[in-house]
């Protein structure tokens, strides 16, 4: 899992109100105490990524992004959030779908070990 993650967002319906999304993000990040020392930096990255439907989130692991999106999606009942992340490491690719504060689809990140059956003899 990577500390720098390129991320893409899509939605099952119209994009949610960005101020409402960032307000939920800010409240979640602030509630986590010292874990996220620069809340506004994270919120600004998130806002830009949501506006452009892609961007970079620095200083967050994929697990952090997952918990943040669970909290955000809980505030938008019935709206599906599709999130695709790609970290620094080659196998650090993952997909998540969130609805009503829950993960409804999860793939990755993948293991870093090479499949020995693919090695040349």
In which domain, by residue range, is 71 found? Answer: 4-118
pLDDT for the residue numbered 117: 65
pTM recorded for the entire structure: 0.88
Residue numbers in the chain where pLDDT is lower than 70? 1-2, 114-121
pLDDT for the residue numbered 70: 98
pLDDT for the residue numbered 119: 67
CB atoms within 10 A of CB 84: 17
pLDDT for the residue numbered 121: 53
Count the domains in the chain.
Answer: 1
């Amino acid at each position: 899992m990577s500390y720098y993650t390129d991320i893409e967002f899509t939605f099952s319906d119209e994009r949610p109100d960005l101020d409402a999304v960032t307000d939920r993000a800010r409240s979640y990040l602030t509630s986590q105490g010292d874990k996220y020392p620069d809340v506004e930096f994270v919120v600004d990255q998130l806002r830009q990524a949501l506006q452009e439907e892609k961007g970079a989130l620095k200083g967050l692991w994929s697990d952090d992004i997952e918990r943040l999106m669970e909290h955000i999606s809980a505030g938008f009942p019935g709206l599906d959030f599709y999130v695709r992340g790609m970290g620094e490491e080659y196998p650090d690719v993952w997909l998540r779908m969130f609805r009503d504060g829950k993960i409804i689809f999860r793939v990755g990140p993948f293991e870093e070990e090479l499949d020995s059956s693919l090695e040349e003899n």
